[in-house]
Amino acid sequence: MHSAQEAASRPLGYAPANGIPELRRAARAILRQSRHLDTPEPDGAFYLFPRLATGDDLAAADTLLEAGCATVPGSAFGAPGHLRLSFATDLATMGKGCRLIVAALDGIPA
């Protein structure tokens, strides 16, 4: 883990070896089930930055917020058509959120 990620994770109770890689793998495994997301593996981050098949990150973020999951549109980072999804939480909460994302996005016509 990079030192900035380690420092940012400490208030959440994470240490470099206790969960970030496992959370990342579990989140990607769930998100890959959605036909609306292309979720590449990041280089050590505690967030994912999937590309949306629909390309409309603002509409997707609104849909997900209405479904109960807060995300950040990629356009806020200069990457329209993407979402920024943090998985800096416990495994159960992350799994619930990722399943909610897949279900909500799969309700959008391709």
- Amino acid making up residue 25: R
How many of the other CB atoms lie within 10 Å of CB of 64? 20
**Mean pLDDT, the chain, whole residue set:** 85
Domain range summary for the chain, segments of one domain joined by +: 3-105
CATH C-level class of 3-105:
alpha beta
This prediction's pTM: 0.79
Q: Assess whether pLDDT exceeds 70 at residue 8.
A: no
Residue 7 is predicted with a pLDDT of 54
